[in-house]
């Protein structure tokens, strides 16, 4: 399994002959190395409905006939736009041909804001557990620190965890470091920082805060083999 980071919260997983992308915010993401025309996912998994996470989902899904996995409300909303979706919800898991996906809780918001200044509710935000080839990857999505992260780690031993550190909209570095302790993941990678001024952070300082010194900063385009 090859897992790569592409700025903000964009993660790609290549496994079992499939290209899976999580939260494909490419257009408008100044930190990504990706070019939209070169991204060809088979599967898109979304944590929540905010524009910096849904990103280019509709265009990518239609162009590649990709399956979009998200919570029920967000799946329904995207389905109305002609996208092939699979609906799940928090606590639920499903075994796909490429691996197993389970949605966890996350403490955040989830909505889509239209050009007419309407706010459309997109269901509860989620984290993602992705399991394949005997490995588990956790994408926390946008979230605050919560104590049940310990339960997530105990129930599903995590090989690689992506945690937001930007503060302001999500956990900051201090809370994210405590989250890493609760999760007990083998490797921790910071995400959701430096894309916008309110979430400016030094990821290397975050790595130094980790009790087990098991963190790794990935530049956009870097990857980890599991």
At 67-121, the pLDDT tens digits run 999 999 999 999 999 999 999 999 999 999 999 999 999 999 999 998 899 999 9
Which residue matches tokens 């239609």? 62
Give residue 115's pLDDT: 87
Cα 21–Cα 23–Cα 25 angle in degrees, nearest 5: 105
Give residue 114's pLDDT: 87
Domain borders along the chain are 2-219
Kindly state the tokens that stand for 193.
Answer: 């920082």
Kindly state the tokens that stand for 216.
Answer: 């790794």
Whole-model pTM?
Answer: 0.97
CATH class of 2-219: alpha beta
The string of pLDDT tens digits covering residues 163-215 is 999 999 999 999 999 999 999 999 999 999 999 999 999 999 999 999 999 99
Give residue 123's pLDDT: 97
**Mean pLDDT within 52-81:** 98
**Mean per-residue pLDDT over the chain, rounded:** 97
Distance CA 165, CA 105 (A): 17
pLDDT higher than threshold 90 for residue 158 = yes
Count CB-CB contacts under 10 A for residue 101.
Answer: 21
pLDDT higher than threshold 90 for residue 129 = yes
Handedness of CA 50, 44, 151, 7 (dihedral sign): negative
Give residue 215's pLDDT: 98
DSSP class of 157: -
**Mean pLDDT within 145-172:** 98
């Amino acid at each position: 399994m090859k897992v790569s980071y592409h700025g903000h919260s964009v993660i790609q997983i290549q496994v079992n002959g499939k290209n899976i992308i999580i939260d494909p915010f490419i257009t408008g993401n100044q930190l990504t190395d990706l070019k939209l025309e070169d991204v060809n996912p088979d599967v898109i998994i979304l944590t929540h409905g905010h524009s910096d996470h849904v990103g280019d989902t509709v265009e990518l899904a239609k162009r590649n006939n990709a399956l979009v996995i998200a919570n029920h409300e967000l799946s329904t909303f995207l389905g109305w736009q002609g996208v092939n979706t699979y609906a799940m919800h928090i606590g639920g898991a499903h075994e796909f041909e490429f691996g197993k996906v389970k949605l966890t809780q996350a403490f955040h918001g989830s909505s889509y804001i239209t050009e007419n200044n309407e706010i459309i509710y997109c269901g509860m935000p989620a984290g993602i557990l992705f399991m394949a080839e005997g490995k588990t990857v956790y994408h926390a999505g946008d979230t605050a620190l919560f104590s049940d992260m310990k339960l997530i780690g105990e129930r599903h031993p995590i090989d690689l965890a992506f945690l937001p550190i930007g503060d302001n909209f999500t956990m900051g570095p201090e809370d994210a470091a405590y989250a890493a302790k609760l999760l007990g993941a083998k490797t921790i990678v910071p995400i959701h920082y430096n894309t916008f001024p309110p979430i400016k952070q030094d990821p290397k300082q975050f790595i130094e805060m980790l009790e087990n010194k098991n963190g790794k900063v990935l530049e956009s385009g870097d990857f980890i083999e599991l």
